[in-house]
Amino acid sequence: MTLPGISDIRAAAERLSGLIVETPLIESPELNKRHGGRILFKPETLQRTGSFKIRGAYNKLSTLSEEERGRGVVAFSSGNHAQGVAASAALFGVKAVIAMPADAPAMKIGNVRRMGAEVVTFDRFKEDRMTVVRPYIEQGMALVPPFDDPAIIAGQGTIGLELMRQAKALGVALDAVVIPCGGGGLSSGISVAVKDASPNTQVWAVEPEHFDDTRRSLAKG
């Protein structure tokens, strides 16, 4: 897989314009005082569906041909990506099948169904998610991965475009950008946008202590 470039992220921003929320940069005077600097937050919880995932999902569907979208899309997710794909499919008026763990939050399963997607549940301790979605792919449905896809990464990277523009408007030169890392799609996309705008800004992908699967994976090569 080839990582998307800044032109891909800008193209994604054009596709998403008017459809997503440009979430604000906010700060806490108390945290600034405690740490002796300005700490800015970009709350994607204010985004449509409650997370950044709709950015990548909608951009991915935008890159499919009408024929591909007409056959429907399939995805696997425990919640946020599922909601992003379901919402995006509804915007395009196409069928979506989402494989979700049976123990995923009931509220998220319900949200996905209310958006019009078909939910297929599976036992995540006994069943492989790719095995669950493979029959739908073989029927011609397009897979919308949660992170390891150039269009998904470019969509998530639009957050980086926004935050760099917003920081500049505030007169802030960012020393570092700290990004939560799960599958890596968010951190990859934001990194491209940040480094294009400010090569000297450090970018850190962070994980919870003891749940550092990305770090361990990289360490194993």
User: What domains are there in the chain, each with its CATH number?
Assistant: 6-49+149-219 (3.40.50.1100), 53-143 (3.40.50.1100)
The predicted model gives 143-150 an average pLDDT of 96
Q: What type of residue sits at position 78?
A: S
- 111 to 49, 57, 77, 116, 213: CA distances (angstroms): 9, 16, 13, 9, 28
Mean pLDDT, range 75-92, rounded to an integer? 98
Query: How confident is the model at residue 199, as a pLDDT?
Result: 98
Could you give the CA distance from residue 83 to residue 51 in angstroms, rounded to a whole number?
9
pLDDT in tens, 95-140: 999 999 999 999 999 999 999 999 999 999 999 999 999 999 999 9
The average confidence (pLDDT) of the chain is 96
Lowest mean pLDDT among 11-15, 35-39, 70-74, 110-114: 35-39
pLDDT band at 213 (very low <50, low <70, confident <90, very high): confident
Find the mean pLDDT for residues 196-213.
93
pLDDT of residue 218: 81
pLDDT of residue 141: 99
Beta-bridge partner residues of 178: 204
Which pLDDT does position 210 carry in this prediction? Answer: 84
Is pLDDT at 156 greater than 80 in this prediction?
A: yes
Of the two residues 39 and 210, the one the predictor is more confident about is 39
Q: What percent of the chain has pLDDT over 90?
A: 91
Question: Sign of the CA dihedral 92, 2, 41, 165?
Answer: negative
- Banded model confidence at residue 20, pLDDT cuts 50, 70, 90: very high
The 10s digit of each residue's pLDDT in 26-53 is 999 999 999 999 999 999 999 999 999 9
pLDDT at 164: 98
What is the Cα–Cα distance from 90 to 48, expressed in whole angstroms? 13
Question: Over the range 46-76, which residues count as b (16 or more CB within 10 Å of their CB) and which as e?
Answer: ebbbbbbbbbbbbbbbbbbeeeebebbbbbb
What average pLDDT score do residues 48-74 get?
98
